[in-house]
Structure 1
Amino acid sequence: MMPLRLLVAFILSLVPTLGLAETGRVQSVELTEWKAVFGRIEARDRVPARARLGGTMIAVDVSEGSEVAEGQQIASVRDEKLELQLGAIDATLSSLQSQLENAQAELKRGESLLERGVTTAQRLDQLRTEVAVIEGRIGTTQAERNVLEQREAEGAVLAPISGTVLAVPVTEGSVVMAGEAIAEIGGGGFFLRMAVPERHAGFLEEGAEIRVGGAENERAGKLAKIYPLIENGRVIADVEIADMATDFVDARVLVRLPIGTRQALVVPAEAVETRMGLDFVSVAGTGDAPVQRAVVIGAVDKVEGVEMVEILSGLAEGEELVAGHE
């Protein structure tokens, strides 16, 4: 029987090889280059609700953050001159109505006299003409009153679209002109708008995947639209992202977008061990035991769904990775 001392030594000599297991090879893959920029949360449509009538603001029914529906009244403007004009037209209509009643009475009396042969048909025609003229004046005056009523109704400021009120630059008692913006409304959905340096314009592609947010809460988005006009050396692009927080419009959000590709050496994240501030990767040596290589690592990325670590130095492509012994 083998002495106990020799048996223990034999078992210990086997320990390194018991933990030796192949975990893959150092690979050279194509990684996406990401450019970090800031995007702003913006409404797809930002439309001002304008006053259609000049006058005094007598009511503002919304404030910043209010939700409105298309066609909803959000403010009221009153022009006191319209009230005076309506009063004058009402007085004119009252006078014309009295004249009409008098003319109709004269016409009826003339018809009675004509039947008795006291008056002539010519006189009766004049009376009929007077009635028709007064009726025409009443119709014209009533049309003028309808126009004034429509102008007065235009004092109601209506929301042009459904959405959120972003700004209300006026208050009750303000004097406004026709066409002046009473409120700004954002609607049509929200998205991220970003300005990208024009040197990266050639790498932008509509429909490309975009990463939004920091490392802890990073989410995927889509590059929805690239605008052809370059402003101040920047390309404007829109990013769509599901379940985007829209509590604050114009809030800045970190966005990473692809601007190219590069070749890099990568290993699985679990192959990297960190001890005393240094990173090591175990590779197959000439003997049975793995060799610990000190490496300089780069960014962590996912390759085909697997978390991989970029190796900047310390390894060569094709080297066999093994797990070190426990």
Structure 2
Amino acid sequence: MRTAFIFLAMSLALPAVPARAAQTFTVEPATIADEKAVFATVESREVVPARVRTGGTIASLSVREGDWVQAGQIVATIGDEKLTLQKSALDAQIAGLKAQLEQAQTDLARAAALVARGIVSKAQFDAATTAADVAANALKARIAERSVLEQQLTEGQVLAPTAGRVLKVPVTADTVVMSGETIADIARADFVLRLRVPERHARFLKAGDEVRIDGRDIGKQGVTFGKIALVYPQIENGRVVADAQVAGLGDYFLGERIEVWISGGERRAFIVPAHFIVTRFGLDYARLRQANGTTIEVPIQRGREQPRPDMPDALEILSGLQAGDVLVQP
């Protein structure tokens, strides 16, 4: 019976698993951005107006505030009763000219047959030829006028000049508008964060600089990074204007204010991953590896979080560490 228990214990024994080596991090000074918090607004690079090309009355309005439109989409249709009456008059004239042309061509064919038999003179044949040419050219002129009128009717359709979001529609149906008036303001789809920072930061801002925002401000988790796309050369009211491209800004609300961290210069500091720091009773400690392989805990003073794309939980250490220290993850 004892032998059976010994055999069962041996059969249930698991193989030994070697202990996983502790993760380490070597402290080295790094150049970090001296970040400043500013507010930016979500804006479109361009707000393009959809304008009327011909005056008249708005017969139909097919968009409203908040709608998404594609480039070339019909925004509104402008109706002009005078153009419709002119088109009817031209259609009647074209019908009459076609009848005249048919009659002139018939007279020309008859004159050609008679002049061949010597019954009529050559002068009468030339007159019939001229009459046919005049009737044909008159018909072409009326058809050209009708084409111009049709183009004017086509221009009564107000088209969206670009794809984007309709911000404002200042008119309603049956409104009388003149040529050049705005039917709708359309914001292009490429939304950016527009920053306005004090001019003393002008020498620090440049295209390509990284900016940081809290992902919760745009409906995301964690920290989101972007880049300065354009710094405008004109300073407005003592502020430098710049556009930053950040993924996930959305395509609906404009003017939303978002806190943005930008670079206000550079400095040297110690940056370590936050998971190497342990907090007990309100004090922060870091575990250091000594030369003999043992570890000790030293108190440190933590600074501000400095999240980066390569180290999301980066933390600035103000005191307690020096270059070359090897941290051991708790």
Partner of residue 20, structure 2:
none
Partner of residue 211, structure 1:
212
SS in 1 for 2:184: strand
SS in 1 for 2:227: strand
Contact 2:301–2:320 (Cα < 8 Å) also in 1? no
Partner of residue 67, structure 1:
68
Q: Distance between the aligned counterparts of 2:84 and 2:101, measured in 1?
A: 25
- Going from structure 1 to structure 2, the CA distance change for 1:280 and 1:40 (only over 3 Å counts) comes to closer
Partner of residue 248, structure 2:
243
Matching residue's letter, 2:45: R
SS in 2 for 1:199: helix
Equivalence map 1:275-294=2 (5 Å): 275=281
- Going from structure 1 to structure 2, the CA distance change for 1:25 and 1:152 (only over 3 Å counts) comes to closer
- Going from structure 1 to structure 2, the CA distance change for 1:316 and 1:81 (only over 3 Å counts) comes to same
Q: Distance between the aligned counterparts of 1:280 and 1:118, measured in 2?
A: 124
SS in 1 for 2:203: helix
Tell me if 1:43 matches 2:41: no
Report how far residue 273 of structure 1 moved: 4.7
Tell me if 1:308 matches 2:309: no
- Going from structure 1 to structure 2, the CA distance change for 1:183 and 1:100 (only over 3 Å counts) comes to same
Contact 1:214–1:254 (Cα < 8 Å) also in 2? no
Q: Which moved more, 1:134-143 or 1:225-234?
A: 225-234
Matching residue's letter, 1:244: L
Equivalence map 1:130-141=2 (5 Å): 130-141=131-142
SS in 2 for 1:244: coil
Matching residue's letter, 1:139: K
> 1:254 aligned to 242, 259, 271, which one?
259
Partner of residue 234, structure 1:
239
SS in 2 for 1:74: strand
Partner of residue 104, structure 1:
105
Partner of residue 227, structure 2:
222
Contact 2:165–2:252 (Cα < 8 Å) also in 1? no
Q: Distance between the aligned counterparts of 2:36 and 2:316, measured in 1?
A: 19
- Going from structure 1 to structure 2, the CA distance change for 1:282 and 1:243 (only over 3 Å counts) comes to closer
Report how far residue 104 of structure 1 moved: 3.0
Partner of residue 93, structure 1:
94
Tell me if 1:144 matches 2:145: yes
Equivalence map 1:156-171=2 (5 Å): 156-171=157-172
1:162-205 alpha-carbon deviations (Å, 9 max, x no partner)? 22222222211111222222122223422211112111011113
Unaligned runs of 5+ in 2: 1-23, 289-295
Contact 1:300–1:310 (Cα < 8 Å) also in 2? no
RMSD over equivalenced CA pairs, Å:
3.6
Moved over 4 A (4+): 23-31, 214-217, 263-275, 278-284, 290-293, 295-298, 315-319
Q: Which moved more, 1:25-34 or 1:46-55?
A: 25-34
Report how far residue 67 of structure 1 moved: 2.1
Matching residue's letter, 2:315: M
Give the paired residue count. Answer: 290
Report how far residue 268 of structure 1 moved: 7.7
The TM-score, its normalising length taken from structure 2, stands at 0.73
SS in 2 for 1:231: coil
SS in 2 for 1:203: coil
Bigger strand fraction: 1
Contact 2:58–2:77 (Cα < 8 Å) also in 1? yes
- Going from structure 1 to structure 2, the CA distance change for 1:24 and 1:156 (only over 3 Å counts) comes to closer
Unaligned runs of 5+ in 1: 1-22, 285-289
SS in 2 for 1:62: coil
- Going from structure 1 to structure 2, the CA distance change for 1:138 and 1:238 (only over 3 Å counts) comes to same
SS in 1 for 2:45: strand
* Greater C-alpha radius of gyration: 1
Contact 2:70–2:162 (Cα < 8 Å) also in 1? yes
The TM-score, its normalising length taken from structure 1, stands at 0.74
Report how far residue 318 of structure 1 moved: 5.1
Matching residue's letter, 1:234: R
Contact 2:165–2:251 (Cα < 8 Å) also in 1? no
SS in 2 for 1:96: helix
- Going from structure 1 to structure 2, the CA distance change for 1:163 and 1:214 (only over 3 Å counts) comes to closer
